[in-house]
Amino acid sequence: MKKTASEMDDELRPEYDLRKLLKGGVRGKYIERYRAGTNVVLLAPDVAHAFPTEEAVK
C-alpha cells in the first residue's frame, strides 16, 4: 500500500525542521573545490604503519 503525500510529510521529527537547520545555507559553496578534485588514497594498515607521515612517503 502506497503512502499518501500527507503521510510522507510527517516522517521527520519536529527537531529536524529543515527550514531552521538550513537557514543561512549557501548553495554551491564548495563547488570550486569539488571541481578541482581530490586525491584520496586509502592505505592498508601495515603500509600506513611504514609511512606514518606525509614526509615519510617522499
Instruction: Write the single-letter amino acid at 6.
Output: S
Is residue 56 predicted with pLDDT exceeding 70?
Answer: yes
pTM, whole model, 2 decimals?
A: 0.32
Domain boundaries, the chain: 5-57
pLDDT in tens, 1-55: 566 655 556 677 888 888 888 888 888 998 898 888 877 778 899 998 998 888 8
**pLDDT for the residue 44:** 92
